[in-house]
Amino acid sequence: EAGVTQFPSHSVIEKGQTVTLRCDPISGHDNLYWYRRVMGKEIKFLLHFVKESKQDESGMPNNRFLAERTGGTYSTLKVQPAELEDSGVYFCASSQGRIGEKLFFGSGTQLSVL
Amino acid sequence: AQSVTQPDIHITVSEGASLELRCNYSYGATPYLFWYVQSPGQGLQLLLKYFSGDTLVQGIKGFEAEFKRSQSSFNLRKPSVHWSDAAEYFCAVGAAAAGNKLTFGGGTRVLVKP
């Protein structure tokens, strides 16, 4: 089966620009998560979708970040305007159920804001 | 608030030698505990998980971990390391009510010497 796919794998933008990251979860997985790892620190939770609804967005850093999951399939994470501290690796993960179900991660998008 | 500490940032081990990665957590109730591995260019892959029951958990790739409540630890072990085990390893904790909203440790990078 196809895994979790993230696009692009790398993105280099200038401060103030906009970037949109995309995640295609495994087909049939209702739960979709975004995580972020900044500068070799801990991987931190950003938000959780159940189908198209935001279940928990407590980890979103500020209102420059907007996540959507229209139709309950793929998800996008837009950063507008990007700041230097937004640089890091953004991971998407999906699971069929909630806790206890295996969480499948994508390989991440490396975002560099210059 | 829950937290996870992986005291060792880097570990170098000879191929064929044993490996132990340390993980300490802080959580008010019985946690759900996980170990993930990230190989270069790949997403995070679940090695094993502990929810309840037997405190010695077997995982994939010959790894095992032991939950010790008295020490708030969940250390990962492998008796004989292979060169392909060179990767970054993450310990994570979750809660039943939080679904797959995980709190990760900072990771331990394992280098394998021939």
CA angle A78, A83, A86 (to 5 degrees): 65
How would you list the strands of the sheet with A65-68, edge to edge?
A5-7, A19-24, A75-79, A65-68
> Which tens digits make up the pLDDT trace of B8-37?
999 999 999 999 999 999 987 778 899 999
DSSP, collapsed to helix, strand or coil, labels residue A53 as strand
Other CB atoms within a 10 A radius of the CB of residue B2 amount to: 16
- Express as a percent the part of chain B with pLDDT over 70: 96
Place of tokens 């990767």: B87
Q: What is the pLDDT of residues A83-114, one digit of tens each?
A: 999 999 999 999 987 665 678 999 999 999 99
DSSP-assigned states of every residue in A77-108: EEESS--GGG-EEEEEEEESSSTTSPPEE---
Which amino acid, one-letter code, is at A2?
A
Residue B80, min C-alpha distance to chain A (Å)? 26
pLDDT in tens, A34-79: 999 998 789 999 999 999 999 999 999 999 999 999 888 999 999 9
Q: Which band of pLDDT confidence, cut at 50, 70 and 90, is reported for residue B79?
A: very high
Among chain B, residues having any CB pair with chain A shorter than 8 Å are: 4, 32, 36, 41-46, 51, 90, 92, 94-96, 98-107
pLDDT higher than 80, residue A1: no
| Per-residue model confidence (pLDDT) at position A2 | 76
Range name among A11-20, A81-90, A94-103, B69-78 with the lowest pLDDT average: A94-103
- Which residues in chain B have Cβ-Cβ distances shorter than 8 Å to A33? 100-101
Q: What is the mean pLDDT of residues B84-98?
A: 88
pLDDT score of B49 more than 80:
yes
pLDDT at A100: 59
pLDDT of residue B29: 74
